[in-house]
Amino acid sequence: MRLREIAPEVYARDVLPLTAPLWAGRRTFDVYVEQTLETARSGYGHRHYRTIGLFDGAVLVASFKRYERLIRDGERQLPAIGFGAVYTPTEFRGRGYASVMLGAELDRARSAGYELAYLFSDIRPQFYTPFGFVELSSRELTLRAAALPAQRVRPAQLAPADWNGVRRCFASSERERCAGFARSQSVWGWIAMRIKHGSEHSAGHAFNLVVRRGRGVRAYVLGARVPERDAYVVDEYGHADEDSAALIPALLRAAAGDLRRIVGWLPPAGTRDLLPKGTTRKRKRSILMMVPLRPDGRRVIGRALAERSGDFCWATEHI
């Protein structure tokens, strides 16, 4: 048995028909394929994304998507790998193929100098614990929209020209955090592409707002309006400076409009303080798990486990 990279077109032909019932969501199969191939062909995809299979001889018995990211640790950036879409075809389950695949990839990443690995588990997080993965805080916040101030702001729909401003706001908002996912220009392109795809939300429609200052952006929120849940689902927000931080609650209230609730992953430490207390509970899906591969990765995970005031990352980092 050995690990081999699967060409995007071959992955689309051989794997996506099997995984579509799990991860296509409300997309048609053709759209699911098209968007998966677009990811592989993007700037981020060419550099940092691969589809990998475990082959028993010539037979593909398990597969996953491999994402390369950098974890910001103070002034340093540590290389990490992410596992997505871990899948074993029905006829090969129960034989340990997925365990062999994960173990082999973790060994390979450790030898290559990666500091940690991560994934988001939707079912059976305990499957990953024998490999050293630990659960990080993965919580959901619920607020009454009426609890946020109805301050007058002049929001506008996020436009392509706003992305540089959003990027600067994100950097400003993250400045006080000791660790988090770093975002290069190619990562930002990948995030913008996924928002355009709408693949992260199973209902509702994308609703992303900014408050502009001249040609710049003072504050932004990314998320979706989901009338079926009577909620605005927030994926991320950011601000340019301390004065602009005060705009976030009102911007979320504007995004919610006539919807009663604002829900989303508990924001990371620091940015969480911009919102009222609300109700917090553990998420049942997309539970963030990490495993250290080297000493620096172990220290980052240790600090993340000790952090109680916010989650490690925004929903926009989900894979």
- Both 226 and 248 in one domain: the answer is yes
- Both 223 and 102 in one domain: the answer is no
Residues 245-286 have pLDDT tens digits of 999 999 999 999 999 999 999 999 989 999 999 999 999 999
Q: Which domain holds residue 120?
A: 2-138+284-317
Q: What is the pTM of this model?
A: 0.94
Residues 44-84 have pLDDT tens digits of 999 999 999 999 999 999 999 999 999 999 999 999 999 99
- Both 86 and 170 in one domain: the answer is no
Residue 45, both tokens: 């995809």
If one counts the domains in the chain, the total is 2
Residues 86-100 have pLDDT tens digits of 999 999 999 999 999
The Cα-based distances of 145 to 98, 131, 306 in angstroms read 43, 41, 30
Q: CA 140 to CA 100: how far, in whole Å?
A: 33
Reading phi first (left if > 0) and then psi (alpha if -120 to 50, else beta), residue 57 is in left
Beta bridge partners of 62: 54
Residues 118-146 have pLDDT tens digits of 999 998 899 999 999 999 999 999 999 99
- Both 62 and 108 in one domain: the answer is yes
> By the 8 A CB rule, do 280 and 309 touch?
no
Of 65, 67, 131, 66, nearest to 103 by C-alpha is: 131
Tell me the backbone φ, ψ of residue 246, rounded to 5 degrees: -65, -15
State in Å, rounded, how far the first CA of the chain is from the last one: 26
- Both 127 and 18 in one domain: the answer is yes
- Both 110 and 131 in one domain: the answer is yes
Tell me the backbone φ, ψ of residue 61, rounded to 5 degrees: -115, -10
Residues 149-193 have pLDDT tens digits of 887 889 999 999 999 999 999 999 998 888 999 999 999 999 999
Confidence band, pLDDT 50/70/90 cuts, at residue 308 = confident
Looking up residue 214, the CATH number of its domain turns out to be 3.40.630.30
- Both 86 and 144 in one domain: the answer is no
- Both 195 and 96 in one domain: the answer is no
- Both 47 and 90 in one domain: the answer is yes
Q: CA 10 to CA 286: how far, in whole Å?
A: 27
Q: Which residue has the tokens 């340019």?
A: 240
- Both 14 and 100 in one domain: the answer is yes
